[in-house]
């Protein structure tokens, strides 16, 4: 079973009326891939040449498409899956998502169409029951909307109460080491241990917060681990914990799979997703790390109930940042899907993933000038104000949602820190800005950037 659509085709399967044709375009666009509907023209072909000819042509077209080397998004015809060859090609080259639809809804959607297989309700329902087990067996995941397909494609599972069935959500059947911190252990540890059952072989507590992201901490974790390469590290905690445990997994035995279970809002909309792991060194935060995509990310919003208000505000800043990038309101699931799509598009952060740094050049400068005594979310809120102003946009939505207040730091120190930022073209400074068609990266003059920075400082 494929775990995600990184470097693989994304294939949408399902019965007539499930929405494959409708979703293939939007999904492909979000992933920056080409998308094609392999069922296009089916009705006409069946009319003109009959079912047998259509099936032969469908088989040929589907196999040819799946053999293409560049990962695409395909909507398969409802019957393509009846072929053994198609099923084994899907297993080899694609991540397959079943678009689920119940028989009543499917019938309502197609009854008035001219589809040859949707002319008689009894026949239609019989075919639905026949096909259902085939779809189930071929699917790596099940979804019903664009965000659902994208989350599935990234290996992200969003479900209220998911912690209780964490055991089923950890891929494979090898041993599991649980890594968490003392706060999260106290709140969710027992439930997690019960859910992981017999596969759990050890539990490890790292220090809370940023203190987890230290080499000596993961070195101690390595010394405690007893996993072999069939094992999985399950990391349950905030962004600091998942960053540290993810890096531990990336390097242990040259890499073991890991599952990320973010328990903060920052984690659920940002840090827990996308495969970036890191620790801090005295020279700077996140300077040593690895790209190591989690075998699964489990987002259970019920875990956020115990999150202190101060921590929730940090996540709100990243969620509002994501809303600005997407240009529409986003709940936790939709914000997670937005980040997932960008990371699938650009797993190694060479292009559009950099949009996620909206406001962050300013935020990092203010944090450094405050000796990191300024919460990241507050710095991001201020940075968003500056990014909006430089984009010629109204900062009112950020003021209304986050109410950022200017900080008292040394403006010269903040400016020096901002200039040390590597993202530069000559003397100009590259920034993520917002345009009418979405985010883009543009170089701005030092004077303009300095003026924008100064408005954030009291």
Ligand X SMILES: NC(=O)c1ccc[n+]([C@@H]2O[C@H](COP(=O)([O-])OP(=O)(O)OC[C@H]3O[C@@H](n4cnc5c(N)ncnc54)[C@H](O)[C@@H]3O)[C@@H](O)[C@H]2O)c1
Interacting residues with ligand X (CB under 6 A): 181, 183-184, 187, 208-210, 213, 237-241, 243, 263-264, 266-267, 270-271, 274, 276, 285-286, 303, 306-307, 311, 314
Nearer to ligand X among residue 29 and residue 349 (C-beta): 349
User: In the bound complex, what is the minimum distance in angstroms from residue 363's beta carbon to ligand X?
Assistant: 11
Nearer to ligand X among residue 40 and residue 349 (C-beta): 349
What count of residues does the chain have?
458
Nearer to ligand X among residue 173 and residue 306 (C-beta): 306
Nearer to ligand X among residue 172 and residue 347 (C-beta): 347
CA distance 391 to 394: 9
Nearer to ligand X among residue 46 and residue 163 (C-beta): 163
Phi, psi torsion values for 178, nearest 5 degrees: -95, 125
301: which 2 tokens? Answer: 């919003």
User: In the bound complex, what is the minimum distance in angstroms from residue 55's beta carbon to ligand X?
Assistant: 46
User: In the bound complex, what is the minimum distance in angstroms from residue 179's beta carbon to ligand X?
Assistant: 13
User: In the bound complex, what is the minimum distance in angstroms from residue 277's beta carbon to ligand X?
Assistant: 6
Nearer to ligand X among residue 42 and residue 384 (C-beta): 384
Nearer to ligand X among residue 96 and residue 268 (C-beta): 268
User: In the bound complex, what is the minimum distance in angstroms from residue 433's beta carbon to ligand X?
Assistant: 20
SS3 128: helix
CB count, 10 Å around CB of 22?
A: 15
Nearer to ligand X among residue 26 and residue 209 (C-beta): 209
User: In the bound complex, what is the minimum distance in angstroms from residue 205's beta carbon to ligand X?
Assistant: 10
User: In the bound complex, what is the minimum distance in angstroms from residue 357's beta carbon to ligand X?
Assistant: 10
Q: What is the CA radius of gyration of the chain?
A: 24
User: In the bound complex, what is the minimum distance in angstroms from residue 356's beta carbon to ligand X?
Assistant: 8
Shortest CA distance to 384 belongs to which of 352, 413, 365, 359? Answer: 359
Asked if residue 33 lies in contact with residue 15, where contact means CB atoms within 8 angstroms, the answer is: no
User: In the bound complex, what is the minimum distance in angstroms from residue 149's beta carbon to ligand X?
Assistant: 22
Nearer to ligand X among residue 50 and residue 351 (C-beta): 351
Which residues fall within 8 angstroms of residue 210, CB to CB, at 6 or more apart?
240, 280, 285
Nearer to ligand X among residue 62 and residue 264 (C-beta): 264
Run of H or E including 291 = strand 284-291
Shortest CA distance to 235 belongs to which of 265, 255, 205? Answer: 205
Nearer to ligand X among residue 13 and residue 250 (C-beta): 250
260: which 2 tokens? Answer: 């990320």
Asked if residue 340 lies in contact with residue 150, where contact means CB atoms within 8 angstroms, the answer is: yes
CA distance 192 to 116: 50
Asked if residue 429 lies in contact with residue 441, where contact means CB atoms within 8 angstroms, the answer is: no
The alpha helices in 74-187, defined as continuous H runs, are 84-93, 103-110, 121-138, 146-153, 166-169, 182-184
User: In the bound complex, what is the minimum distance in angstroms from residue 307's beta carbon to ligand X?
Assistant: 4
Nearer to ligand X among residue 134 and residue 217 (C-beta): 217
Asked if residue 144 lies in contact with residue 234, where contact means CB atoms within 8 angstroms, the answer is: no
Shortest CA distance to 205 belongs to which of 182, 228, 226? Answer: 182
User: In the bound complex, what is the minimum distance in angstroms from residue 343's beta carbon to ligand X?
Assistant: 8
Phi, psi torsion values for 94, nearest 5 degrees: -130, 160
User: In the bound complex, what is the minimum distance in angstroms from residue 439's beta carbon to ligand X?
Assistant: 17
Shortest CA distance to 286 belongs to which of 340, 253, 247, 319? Answer: 247
- Kindly tell me the sign of the dihedral angle through the C-alpha atoms of 253, 255, 261, 265: positive
CA geometry: angle 2, 8, 10, nearest 5 deg: 85
CA distance 14 to 134: 10
Shortest CA distance to 324 belongs to which of 275, 268, 378, 383? Answer: 383
Asked if residue 246 lies in contact with residue 294, where contact means CB atoms within 8 angstroms, the answer is: yes
């Amino acid at each position: 079973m494929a775990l995600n659509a990184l470097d693989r085709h994304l294939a949408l399967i399902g019965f007539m009326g499930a929405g494959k044709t409708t979703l293939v375009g939007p999904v492909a666009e979000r992933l920056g891939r080409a998308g094609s509907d392999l069922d296009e023209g089916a009705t006409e072909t069946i009319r003109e040449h009959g079912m047998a000819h259509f099936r032969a042509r469908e088989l040929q077209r589907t196999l040819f498409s799946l053999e293409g080397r560049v990962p695409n998004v395909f909507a398969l015809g409802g019957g393509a899956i009846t072929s053994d060859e198609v099923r084994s090609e899907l297993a080899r080259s694609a991540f397959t998502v079943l678009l689920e639809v119940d028989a009543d809804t499917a019938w309502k959607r197609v009854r008035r169409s001219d589809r040859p297989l949707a002319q008689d309700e009894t026949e239609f329902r019989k075919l639905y029951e026949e096909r259902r087990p085939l779809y189930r067996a071929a699917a790596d995941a099940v979804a019903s909307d664009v965000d659902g397909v994208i989350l599935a494609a990234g290996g992200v599972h969003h479900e209220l109460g998911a912690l209780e069935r964490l055991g089923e959500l950890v891929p494979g059947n090898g041993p599991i080491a649980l890594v968490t911190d003392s706060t999260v252990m106290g709140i969710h540890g027992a439930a997690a241990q019960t859910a992981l059952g017999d596969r759990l072989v050890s539990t490890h507590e790292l220090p809370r917060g940023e203190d987890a992201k230290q080499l000596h901490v993961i070195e101690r974790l390595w010394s405690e681990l007893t996993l072999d390469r069939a094992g999985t590290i399950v990391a349950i905690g905030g962004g600091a914990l998942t960053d540290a445990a993810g890096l531990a997994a990336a390097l242990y035995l040259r890499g073991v799979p890991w599952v990320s279970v973010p328990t903060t809002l920052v984690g659920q909309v940002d840090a827990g997703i996308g495969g970036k792991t890191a620790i801090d060194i005295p020279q700077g935060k996140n300077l040593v790390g690895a790209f190591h995509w989690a075998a699964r990310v489990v987002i259970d919003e019920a875990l956020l109930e115990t999150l202190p208000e101060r921590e929730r505000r940090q996540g709100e800043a990243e969620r509002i940042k994501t809303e600005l990038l997407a240009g529409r309101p986003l709940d936790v699931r939709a914000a997670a899907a937005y980040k997932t799509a960008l990371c699938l598009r650009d797993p190694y952060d060479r292009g559009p993933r950099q949009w996620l740094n909206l406001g962050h050049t300013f935020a990092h400068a203010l944090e450094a000038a405050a000796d990191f005594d300024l919460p990241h979310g507050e710095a991001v809120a201020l940075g968003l104000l500056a990014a909006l102003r430089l984009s010629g946009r109204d900062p009112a939505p950020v003021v209304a949602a986050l109410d950022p207040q200017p900080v008292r730091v040394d403006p010269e120190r903040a400016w020096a820190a901002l200039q040390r930022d590597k993202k530069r073209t000559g003397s100009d400074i590259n920034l993520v800005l917002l345009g009418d068609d979405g985010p883009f990266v543009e170089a701005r003059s030092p004077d303009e950037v300095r003026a924008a920075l100064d408005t954030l400082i009291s």
